Amino acid sequence: FPAALGRHGWFQSHGQWGIETTPISLPGTLFFFDWDGSGNADHVGIVVGVDETRVYTVEGNSGNDACNYKSYLRGSSVIRGYG
């Protein structure tokens, strides 16, 4: 899913957008990140699991030219939303 910037708009216009304050997404959902705090999605990962406190993703372009598993606290300020 190249160029995450602005891609969340499709999910919003099709009623498929969620934010971290709504019920958490299921594995396979795309998670959009806002690393620079601009309000725009600038990175995307695929949810592979969730628990009470964390969201687990797999992401490309995450530091070493490979796909990596990552985890984030639910409600993290870098999570823009999901679709």
Separation CA 17–CA 83 (nearest Å): 5
Give 35's pLDDT tier (boundaries 50, 70, 90): confident
In 1-83, alpha helices (H): 8-13
Question: Which of 63, 61, 80, 83 shows the shortest CA–CA distance to 14?
Answer: 83
pLDDT (tens digit per residue) in 36-47: 888 888 888 899
Tell me what the mean pLDDT of segment 57-69 comes to: 85
For residue 69, list its beta bridge partners.
58
Does residue 11 surpass a pLDDT of 90? no
Tell me what the mean pLDDT of segment 61-82 comes to: 85
Q: Which residue carries 């216009």 as its tokens?
A: 13
DSSP strand E in 1-83: where? 30-33, 43-50, 54-59, 68-73, 79-82
